[in-house]
Amino acid sequence: MTLHASLGSSGGFVDPVQSSQSVFRSVMNALARPGSVQTVAEGVHAPSPMMTATAAVSLALFDHDTPIWIDDRFSAEPAIDTWLRFQTGAPLTSDASRAAFALIHDGAALPDFEGFAPGTPEYPDRSTTLVIQVGTLTEGPAQTLSGPGIRGTSTLRAGGLHSDFAERMQANHALFPRGVDLLLVCGAELVALPRSTLITVRGA
């Protein structure tokens, strides 16, 4: 992930350097503590239906070396394509397997992980990070998280995810050290689920 200051002021961070650093720290904290809810910079204005946290992550992490894939709902809004290119300089790709990042407008419409780059045994970091918008990070059904960065277990309460999300994450975890990483976002908040995190459903 590359720290990036936005290329323009309209719709970007008011203070690009300080805000980018703040968002970068929030993402790193989220990855270090999977399941913890982090708040990112407010005041970012991006075209609908892009949420504040989605826009902030884009401004802080995307640059001309990070190919981006966006789903059909985002692709249907020309203003999003224009905003991403102007604010980040990142190239957009129609090939999800070549994307460094993927933006997904709705976790309930989550594409199969197999379409994205899982990295290789030699270069596991050459994988796609999925930025997924969800309805809530605090009021959804309880799912148990375990793995590095989690003392014992923690609870994820994201709502608006695909019905087989836990099963997909278990299959993703089984690929470790390969696999995709996830950033779930809602409003100005985010939760990280790296490939090292195992999800189990309560009562399953």
CA angle 50, 67, 59 (to 5 degrees): 45
pLDDT computed for residue 199 by the predictor: 95
Instruction: Judge whether 135 and 189 are in contact, CB under 8 Å.
Output: no
Instruction: Judge whether 28 and 22 are in contact, CB under 8 Å.
Output: no
The pTM assigned to this predicted structure is: 0.92
CA angle 74, 182, 129 (to 5 degrees): 70
Q: How confident is the model at residue 203 (pLDDT cuts 50, 70, 90)?
A: low
Spatial separation of the C-alpha atoms in residues 126 and 37, rounded to whole Å: 26
> What residue ranges do the domains of the chain occupy?
16-201
- Answer whether residue 9 shows pLDDT above 60: no
pLDDT computed for residue 146 by the predictor: 97
Provide CATH code, domain 16-201. 3.40.50.11310
Q: What is the pLDDT of residues 139-164, one digit of tens each?
A: 999 999 999 999 999 999 999 999 99
